[in-house]
Chain A
């Protein structure tokens, strides 16, 4: 126990300031105001892997580490789409995930946001459109923000999420500090 406490105290707080939002990532204008008025600052995200190679997932995981500390911004990953305000969707949408992806979207209560993640989520990436893949998230769901990259860095992901909810959390956190 004493080693655990000593480690915690020794390392201290390592969280960095979040990035500013980036409007170039936005692909759709609808909804945000409605979502924001319902949500305030808190946001719950359900991640859906629709055929990703797992690299995007590794970077999404990194958002939860103490350095990016996404929970510190009031944003949480949740276990069920029924608890979610936003879907974070990766992959070129494999045809075998089509139904599961649509059902996950339908199970998410309105109003909801969709962020497509990675080159595959944006345009199918190297897999493109084939007998096995649909080719992009926007071919299946209305996408609000698309974050390219292979895989996108946690900073880009955070920018995408913050852009979707039109929050400059960075500025606010700066003032709060």
Chain B
């Protein structure tokens, strides 16, 4: 399952939508909802990841699923259980949301069991979320996540924007995946308009997406070394990442590629000489990373920390619907770039990088493999970059429509479902991060590991809070 969302009946015809990936096609299921008090059949037994999506839909739209867990998920105290921000704006004063609610965590009882609450403010420079560990000694019996701290009202904000401006908000949903989100948004918008994007623009978008993948993988590989006590790794990889950020800025005018993907194409048409420079920097970085991989592989301390930590077996991964990079480290053979290639990936298709062990070491290995593959792919894009314009004018149809954008970002598939009204306004824009599928898997991965290994295991997934909390 890719995603589940609700359009509340208050804003037109209400419906529950579920998007499924069947082979290389998206199957969109819809059930009409006439009245907000109507319940729909929950999908949590077929797709466990649906449970939280249904709870979030209840929080935001006021439409509930028939499911055992009726606790709020994204809602803390900024609005009440009677209010539904996507149906109508909650009444809020300056102090709204400042109260602390009493969320009913699942309690683990027994001799010597105690709880460790962590967050929302964590020890490092990372996003906020709450983790409740139930432990005996150092061993974790159970982890329960509580998210929603960075809920910013993104989906309501979309309905206030012009569809041709929405890509700017999409770019700021999850800063580390700005290309994936803005591309998915633009893909949906372009599908609504029936627009064929110029081929040079799609190739440049492909380059941006791969550069984003490389930036994140380099950052993660350094941070993972550091979490295993190998500061050398952080120093080396963060230096390489900085080098990549600087050359990215020289090509696209931005270190992180905010607002480069725009409706109808891309905002910048780089010249031939900066393209050549990017290509040579990528070759250098790939060579450096090969050396660093040898160092990581030869380091007994690193091997000891990585191997066998935070295992998600292929069987569990299949049941939970583990997706994207973490899925590929647990033998889930899915990479949309290869399975359902869109332009430019049908011209140059990457080889999916797969491992079966499902531990931290496997997620590190997939990142190393993908750095090599992405830099090869990007250089191939750069050397065969077609000529032509980089934008095309876009006109929206004057009828209500729904379209889906789907992009394999560095973390996994990012989905945008965009619904417009006859007046050309956004009626509903649902955005979905792969972290929705993978956060629950982290709760399983940590079981029987020790508390001090949590930062390492968590980092090996590197899931998004902002993209999830919306």
Query: Which of A's residues lie within 8 Å of B, judged by CB?
Result: 3-4, 7-8, 11, 14, 47-62, 64-67, 77, 79-81, 91-92, 94-100, 102, 104, 125-128, 130-134, 139, 150-151, 153
Interface size on B, residues (CB 8 A): 62
**How would residues 217 to 253 of chain B score, 1 for a CB under 8 Å from any chain A CB and 0 otherwise?**
0010000000000001011101101100100000000
B126 and A126 form a contact (CB under 8 A)? no
Q: Among the listed B78, B124, B175, B238, which residue makes an inter-chain contact with A56, where contact means beta carbons less than 8 Å apart?
A: B175
- Indicate whether B36 reaches chain A with its CB closer than 8 angstroms: no
**Which residues of chain B from 79 to 137 have a CB within 8 Å of any chain A CB?**
79, 85, 89-90, 92, 94-100, 120-121, 123-128
A58 and B127 form a contact (CB under 8 A)? no
- Indicate whether B255 reaches chain A with its CB closer than 8 angstroms: yes
* Distance between Cα atoms of A35 and B464 in the complex (Å): 36
* Distance between Cα atoms of A49 and B292 in the complex (Å): 31
Return the chain B residue nearest A63 by Cβ.
B125
- A51-B466, A55-B178, A80-B123 given; 14 more Cβ-contact pairs under 8 Å: A3-B294, A7-B232, A7-B291, A48-B121, A49-B126, A54-B464, A55-B172, A55-B258, A62-B242, A95-B98, A99-B99, A131-B89, A150-B172, A150-B258
Min CB gap A102→B, angstroms: 8
Q: Among the listed A8, A79, A81, which residue makes an inter-chain contact with B232, where contact means beta carbons less than 8 Å apart?
A: A8
| 24 interchain pairs, CB-CB under 8 A | A11-B236, A49-B127, A54-B466, A55-B258, A57-B127, A58-B175, A61-B238, A66-B238, A80-B123, A92-B152, A94-B78, A94-B97, A96-B150, A99-B98, A100-B149, A126-B157, A126-B168, A127-B153, A130-B157, A131-B85, A132-B85, A150-B172, A151-B256, A153-B255
* Distance between Cα atoms of A136 and B174 in the complex (Å): 19
Q: Among the listed B153, B172, B176, B294, which residue makes an inter-chain contact with A132, where contact means beta carbons less than 8 Å apart?
A: B153
A95 and B97 form a contact (CB under 8 A)? yes
Min CB gap A140→B, angstroms: 9
What are the residues of chain A within 8 A of B174 when measuring CB–CB? 53-54
Min CB gap B8→A, angstroms: 15
Q: Among the listed B120, B151, B239, which residue makes an inter-chain contact with A65, where contact means beta carbons less than 8 Å apart?
A: B239
B85 and A54 form a contact (CB under 8 A)? no
- Indicate whether B188 reaches chain A with its CB closer than 8 angstroms: no
Contact A65:B241 (CB < 8 A) given known A54-B466, A58-B219: yes
What are the residues of chain B within 8 A of A55 when measuring CB–CB? 172, 175-176, 178, 256, 258
B232 and A132 form a contact (CB under 8 A)? no
- Indicate whether B52 reaches chain A with its CB closer than 8 angstroms: no
* Distance between Cα atoms of A3 and B295 in the complex (Å): 7
Return the chain B residue nearest A120 by Cβ.
B172
A130 and B176 form a contact (CB under 8 A)? no
Return the chain A residue nearest B154 by Cβ.
A127
B157 and A53 form a contact (CB under 8 A)? no
A79 and B256 form a contact (CB under 8 A)? no
B239 and A51 form a contact (CB under 8 A)? no
Q: Among the listed B92, B242, B256, B292, which residue makes an inter-chain contact with A95, where contact means beta carbons less than 8 Å apart?
A: B92
What are the residues of chain A within 8 A of B387 when measuring CB–CB? none
- Indicate whether B407 reaches chain A with its CB closer than 8 angstroms: no
Contact A51:B121 (CB < 8 A) given known A8-B232, A61-B238, A67-B239: no
Return the chain B residue nearest A61 by Cβ.
B125
What are the residues of chain B within 8 A of A80 when measuring CB–CB? 123
What are the residues of chain A within 8 A of B97 when measuring CB–CB? 94-96, 98, 132
B236 and A7 form a contact (CB under 8 A)? yes
What are the residues of chain B within 8 A of A125 when measuring CB–CB? 172
B169 and A126 form a contact (CB under 8 A)? yes
* Distance between Cα atoms of A50 and B150 in the complex (Å): 7
A57 and B125 form a contact (CB under 8 A)? yes
What are the residues of chain B within 8 A of A100 when measuring CB–CB? 120-121, 128, 149
What are the residues of chain A within 8 A of B409 when measuring CB–CB? none
Min CB gap B260→A, angstroms: 13
* Distance between Cα atoms of A153 and B239 in the complex (Å): 15
* Distance between Cα atoms of A132 and B150 in the complex (Å): 9
Contact A66:B235 (CB < 8 A) given known A94-B152, A133-B152: yes
- Indicate whether B31 reaches chain A with its CB closer than 8 angstroms: no
Which one of B219, B232, B245 has the greatest number of beta carbons of chain A within 10 Å? B245
- Indicate whether B381 reaches chain A with its CB closer than 8 angstroms: no
**Which residues of chain B from 143 to 163 have a CB within 8 Å of any chain A CB?**
148-154, 156-157
* Distance between Cα atoms of A115 and B292 in the complex (Å): 36
Min CB gap A133→B, angstroms: 5
Return the chain B residue nearest A54 by Cβ.
B175
- Indicate whether B317 reaches chain A with its CB closer than 8 angstroms: no
Min CB gap B235→A, angstroms: 5
Return the chain A residue nearest B89 by Cβ.
A131
A96 and B176 form a contact (CB under 8 A)? no
Which one of A7, A8, A96 has the greatest number of beta carbons of chain B within 10 Å? A96
What are the residues of chain B within 8 A of A127 when measuring CB–CB? 152-154, 157, 172
Q: Among the listed B151, B172, B175, B232, which residue makes an inter-chain contact with A96, where contact means beta carbons less than 8 Å apart?
A: B151
What are the residues of chain A within 8 A of B77 when measuring CB–CB? 95-96
